[in-house]
Amino acid sequence: MPSYHPEYGCDKHEETKAAAYIVFAANSAAAQASMLAVTGESSFQWMKVCNRFTRFCIEIGGALLCGYFASIFMVVISSVSAYNLFRFYSPKQFLLLKGK
């Protein structure tokens, strides 16, 4: 059975969840890379970047903040989409549409 009902025009919930997870994972990877810019890594002889390029690090911080807000917003949209999808189904029987 498909994850949406074409008669009601609901979104595909699995795709919206996957998009939210991908955006969150990309933001987390960017946060990890930006921590290397802030702290550096002496064992690899990577120097700190933020003590020389402060504007760059401020812009990275703003981008990460916006990215995390976007991923939280996507989770909210995915939850609303799931609610709109599953409100058409009966709570008593699995995958049975409610009657009118």
The pLDDT tens digits of the residues spanning 19-30 come to: 888 888 999 999
* Structural domains counted in the chain: 1
pLDDT digits (tens, 9 = 90+) for 64-83: 999 999 888 888 888 887 78
Q: Specify if 74 maps to a domain.
A: yes
Note whether residue 55 is domain-resident.
yes
- Give the structural domain span for 25: 19-84
Structure confidence at residue 1 (pLDDT): 44
pLDDT reported for residue 16: 73
Report the alpha-carbon distance of residue 31 to residue 65 in Å, rounded: 10
Looking at residue 29, what is its pLDDT?
92
- Quick: pLDDT tens for 9-65: 445 667 777 888 888 899 999 998 888 888 888 887 888 888 888 898 899 999 999
- How far apart CA 18 and CA 65 sit, in angstroms, is 20
Burial of 2 (0-12, 13-18, 19+ CB in 10 A): exposed
| Residue 62 counted as domain residue | yes
